[in-house]
Structure 1
Amino acid sequence: MTLVVALVLLVGLGVGSLFLPVPYLVAAPGLTVDTLGEVKEEPVIKIEDARSYEHDGSLSMVTVQYAGGPQHRLDFLTVVTAWLSPTQAVLPEKLLFPSGRTPEEVTERQTVQMNDSQTDATAAALNELGMAYEAVPLVSGTVEGMPAHGVVEEGDLILAVDGEPVPTEGGGDQGSPVGSSAVVEMVGDREPGDPVELTLDRDGETVDVEITTEEGDSGGAAVGVLITDRMDFPVDVEITVGDIGGPSAGMMFALGIMDRLSEEGLTGGADVAGTGTITADGRVGGVSGVQQKMVSAQRDGAEYFLVAAESCSQVSQSAAYGELEVARVETLADAVDALQTIRTGEGELPRCE
């Protein structure tokens, strides 16, 4: 009788444990959004103050759908089932919801990242097209404990570094940084511990401040200023994608903007999807969830997939591996070259090794 009771209790505990909440997330293939198409009868990319064009083909951003989280934890059985699925992945909850950050803060941060990626995508697209714009470095904050804290103020515009004006005109020489990128390079062009003089516009008044640099996270000289760019574009670009956050669609936004502004389409009628962040100077960065995004792209009819070189290691792990032609890109120019190869059929696509 003791053995029977113990066995019943053991089985009961085993079955019950399958429904215990666990701190894991399940990542699954999500939505695809054609940047050349519409969302809720509104163009994803709308351009004013310049002639825009419509072309055949598609340039789709792809997403990952996450289930779980601190407020809606999944049970153990659901997590195990997802772990066995070839199209899903199981991730520690803290990767998306770091300790000490509320779900609302995570959502707000993803919204900010999405907005910033759209601005950077516009700048990168205009750079690639050779269309001039202005990017004035704007202080968004300072790092507590670093030399600039209490000296440089939020809202300051950085006009010069050591008396040398900060270049602000983008869209010309694509190899030269402008705005915030230029400031980082100009300040970092010295040894940690060396002084640097910043000329600031503070509420219309010119202010000079001298700051002693320290070693930053990357090992170079830094002062602890957080900088964004106040952009002045010659065209008005409005991007609408609904309730989607994060920076990983930046590359596809940039390509979509270029396609809208180009008389000749970029894809030649092909259906292309992709993922990767973008910087204003056109560098494409790696993202997570490529395995699920490739499944989303293949499911919704994409023939080709553009992936950031930094994310190449994820490609072969996807259930859609072998179903898509995958091209590796490091810059927006690389992506444009890949699309030219797709459009003309000439040359070879750069592959993930």
Structure 2
Amino acid sequence: MTANAHRAVPVPAAPTRGDTRRRVPRLTTTSGVMTYILIALAILLPVPYMLQLPGPVFNTLGDYQGKPMIDVSGAKTYPTDGRIDMLTVAVSGGPGRDTYASQALGALLHSKETVIPTEAYYPLETTREDVAASNAVEMSSSQDVAVAAAMGQLDKPYKVHLLVGEVVPDSPAEAKLRKGDRIISVNGKKLDSDPAAARVMSETVQSSDSVDIVVERGDEDVDVAMKPETIDGRKAIGISMKQDFEFPIDVSFNVEGIGGPSAGTMFALAIIDELTPGAMTGGKHVAGTGEIDPAGNVGPIGGARQKVAASTARGAKLFLSPADNCAEVIEAADQSKITVARIDTLDDAQNAVEKYAAGDTSDLKKCPADGADNNEKGQ
């Protein structure tokens, strides 16, 4: 044997139990920290969604910032009592404002909040200033239309003139109609002073291969003819229309900072209440929502879930819901605390409030229990 035959071969020592305990936690800790960081980053990332939350509530029969919310003059008015609440929706996110994933996840678990894609409401290029301007225009328009609806409900005559709003470039109307033209007739149908003029104008254009329009421009009448073109799937001549009202009374609204069209029905009810003897509510607390047209038809609005939640929280016992919002309202309403009445028209709304004031809600026109639409009267 050589001298090296008995030399021991060195074998690496196995790590002791203590060594293992020291090394494994370091890897686990590092992995855990990275996981928490990634989760935190995901939660704090902005997402393209808006959150709808219950907003402030305003009594249309009361004051706002020290002044009457609705001030009627030019006719005899009567003292009233109770509350006819208009409701608002607070929006988190949207153009110019970020919504974070954590907020969206929290809202999904909250029955009073709704998460909606921003693009479902606004084109990508919309700015915060665009939103504010649009809301202001819609609020102003809803005020005029509310007065018109109230005048119709009270059988008080008024005049309405249909004006050309904007003219779309490269449309049939370009160079023929101008912003501010007062539309007198279309295809021989007189429109001036007709509350339904906008609808008649739209229906005539969509059903005609050519239209002959007479407008008042300055001190003269101008006759223009054109052929509608298909724009976005429907016949059009390329104008927006604006209504200019002449009322027998003056109504001023103190609603600075509040936007959108959904208070129209509540405004109309408050005006009727001020112009008729006695308190429509009987001193009770009602709330509701709904866009309205000059003929008194009530249309659906956004944020119905938030609005019924806000009205319940403020103590209202009757909620007026547009028919097309029934499903959302019934799902969100605590019907042990608030009665939901379905309204298709301003007349429905007034009848519901007066019946509630008299203590009889047995034959109210109600949203069906499953929230489905129901067109039968008295249901």
TM-score normalised to structure 1 length: 0.90
Does residue 221 of structure 2 align to residue 230 of structure 1? no
Paired with 1:238 and 1:204, the residues of 2 have a C-alpha distance of 30
Give distance in 2, aligned partners of 1:334 and 1:352: 13
Retained in 1: the 8 A contact 2:183–2:192? no
Provide the residue aligned with 2:228 in structure 1. Answer: 213
Select the residue among 251, 254, 260 that pairs with 1:246: 260
Match for 1:88 among 104, 113, 117? Answer: 113
With over 3 angstroms needed to count, the CA separation of the structure-2 counterparts of 1:130 and 1:216, relative to structure 1, is: farther
2:213 is aligned with 1:198: yes
Cα deviation for residue 216 of structure 1 reads: 6.2
Residue 285 of structure 1 is matched in structure 2 by 299
Separation of aligned partners in 2, 1:91 and 1:320: 23
Shift, 1:324, TM fit? 1.2
Letter in 1 for 2:211: V
Provide the residue aligned with 1:267 in structure 2: 281
**For the residues of structure 2 that align with 1:317 and 1:218, how far apart are their CA atoms?**
35
The CA distance in 1 between the partners of 2:236 and 2:155, in whole Å, is 31
Paired with 1:233 and 1:55, the residues of 2 have a C-alpha distance of: 22
* Correspondent of 1:183 among 201, 207, 215: 201
Q: Using the alignment, how far apart are the partners of 1:218 and 1:255 within structure 2?
A: 37
Partner amino acid for 1:184? S
CA displacement 1:91-146 (0-9 Å, x = unmatched): 22334443111110111000000000001001011011111111011101123443
Distance 1:282 1:13 in 2: 54
CA contact (8 A) 1:120 1:278 kept: yes
The structure 1 residue matched to 2:354, chosen from 325, 333, 340, is: 340
Aligned to 1:147: 172
The runs of 5 or more residues in structure 2 that have no matched partner are 1-25, 369-379
Do 1:138 and 1:180's aligned partners in 2 also have CA atoms closer than 8 Å?
Answer: no
Counterpart Cα distance in 1 of 2:367 and 2:227: 43
Moved more, 16-25 or 301-310: 16-25
Shift of 1:21: 2.3
Moved more, 73-82 or 303-312: 73-82
Match for residue 69 of structure 2 among 44, 59, 63: 44
1:349: Cα distance to partner? 1.2
Q: Aligned match of 2:364 in 319, 327, 349?
A: 349
Give yes or no for the alignment of 1:54 onto 2:72: no
Q: Which SS does the other structure have where 2:256 is aligned?
A: coil
Cα distance in 1 for partners of 2:216, 2:183 equals: 6
TM-score, normalized by length of structure 2?
0.84
Q: Is the 8 A contact 2:213 2:225 kept in 1?
A: yes
Partner Cα distance (2:333, 2:268) in 1? 27
Deviation at 1:341, TM superposition (A): 2.1
Counterpart residue type for residue 150 of structure 1: A
**Greater gyration radius:** 2
Q: Which residue matches 2:376?
A: none
Greater RCO, 1 or 2 (C-alpha within 8 Å, sep 6+): 1
Cα gap change, 1:163 to 1:14, in 2 (>3 Å): closer
Code of the aligned partner of 1:233: F
Equivalent of residue 106 in structure 1, options 131, 143, 150: 131
- 1:124, 1:351 → 2: CA distance? 22
RMSD: 2.1
Q: Deviations over 1:158-183 (max 9, x none)?
A: 1122234225155xxxxxx2x33343
Structure 1, 274-283 or 339-348: larger mean CA deviation: 339-348
Residue in 1 that maps onto 2:7:
none
Deviation at 1:215, TM superposition (A): 4.6
Gaps of 5+ in 1: 171-176
**Matched-pair contact (CA < 8 Å) for 1:284–1:329:** yes
Are 2:176 and 1:161 equivalent residues in the alignment?
no
Change over 3 Å in CA distance of 1:324–1:218 after alignment to 2: farther
| Inter-partner Cα distance in structure 2 for 1:218 and 1:140 | 21
Q: Which residue of 2 is the match for residue 173 of structure 1?
A: none
Aligned in 2, Cα 1:350/1:16: closer, same or farther, shift over 3 Å? same
3-state secondary structure, aligned to 2:44: coil
Instruction: Report whether the alignment pairs 1:25 with 2:43.
Output: no
Deviation string, structure 1 residues 194-250 (Cα, Å, up to 9, x no partner): 22211111122111011123456685x542321111111111100112311011111
Name the SS of the counterpart of 1:152 in structure 2.
Answer: coil
Residues 222 and 60 of structure 1: CA distance in aligned 2, closer, same or farther (over 3 Å): same
- CA change 1:187–1:90 in 2 (3 A) is closer
